[in-house]
Chains A and B, each alone.
Chain A
Amino acid sequence: QSVLTQPPSASGTPGQRVTISCSGSSSNIGSHTVNWYQKLPGTAPKLLMYSNNQRPSGVPDRFSASKSGTSASLAISGLQSEDEADYYCAAWDDSLNGPVFGGGTKLTVL
């Protein structure tokens, strides 16, 4: 059981916009910034978004993220087949005194 809650799956067709939610509590998302990671099958996780809504260099602007209260969301517009991956949200947790992750959302591009 992950500390942060994500839907296990999401899907969309090429060109569509999809969003992935991440729900936490006052001890994590409510007090700290949220980061998002993309994990393609058989590869290392990759930083996708940090500090709630900042894109690292090289991440397309099709990816965006936001945070409100104890929840966050990742949006992918102009969906492409290469976006098919697992997406994880993460934040520091004051109660556990360490970073915590969501259970991951498997995105399927139909």
Chain B
Amino acid sequence: QVQLVESGGGVVQPGRSLRLSCAASGFTFSSHAMHWVRQGPGKGLEWVAVISYNGNSKYYADSVKGRFTISRDNSKNTLYLQMNNLTPDDTSVYYCASEGIVGGHIYFDYWGQGTLVTVSS
């Protein structure tokens, strides 16, 4: 069955960096675009970034543009999110999600269990 397992979360001071990983199994990882979505404490879901199946295209939410970098290693079936210059507003549970697409319209068909990032001094 499809499994997405995030790791790399933790407590970090403002201005520091952190790298999240998402290990995928149970599907052809290299054929799917992948996303990061986050949920802050008491807040709703917020899309963060997407990377195409081959890594050639990447897009970001305005709130993280210039600070976060999404990448993937298809040889390792792993998705990454490099987060730099973190602020308390980045405190969230970060989920990786695989993309499904029908008629040009996307949806998130599988999600990981999430990894908590806490930005605090």
Contacts and interface: CB of A to CB of B under 8 A. Distances in A.
Given A50-B100, A50-B102, A99 B44 contact: no
Given A51-B107, A96-B62, 5 more contacts: A44-B112, A51-B103, A97-B59, A100-B47, A101-B44
Q: What is the size category of the interface that chain B forms with chain A?
A: 20 to 34
Contact of A44 (B47, B100, B111): B111
Interface residues of A, number: 26
Contacts, number: 66
Interface of B: 35, 37, 44-47, 50, 59, 61-62, 95, 97, 100, 102-103, 105-114
A32 B111 contact: no
A54 B47 contact: no
B111 A92 contact: no
B44 A43 contact: no
Interface string A99-110: 111111000000
